[in-house]
Amino acid sequence: MANRRQELIDEAREMVGLYTKAEKAVLLNQSYTIAGQSLTRADLDKIRLGRREWETRLNTYIGQGEMVIRRVLPMDY
């Protein structure tokens, strides 16, 4: 179980890294012109959305198994 969790964490970290690199590449050179045609490299909004999704997954994977109950207060009704 711990190995699978670590695999998920590693994959999520890799994907966040790839999306971050893609975002930087698009920011540096979003559009260009070839032979009079204007072309757009990629959709920056979709890249950012994908990065956020993988960051959320990563945070979820890292947070699993770390919940700690510090105090229980019995209540009398």
Asked if residue 18 has pLDDT above 80, the reply is: yes
Q: List, for residues 23-59, the tens digit of each pLDDT value.
A: 998 888 877 788 988 887 788 999 999 999 999 999 9
Q: Report the phi/psi class of residue 35: left, alpha or beta, with left for phi > 0 and alpha for psi in -120 to 50.
A: left
Q: Which distant-in-sequence residues (6+ apart) come within 8 Å of 47 by Cβ?
A: 19, 22, 23, 26
Q: State the average pLDDT for the chain.
A: 86
The string of pLDDT tens digits covering residues 52-70 is 999 999 999 998 765 566 6
Statement: the pTM of the whole predicted model exceeds 0.85: no
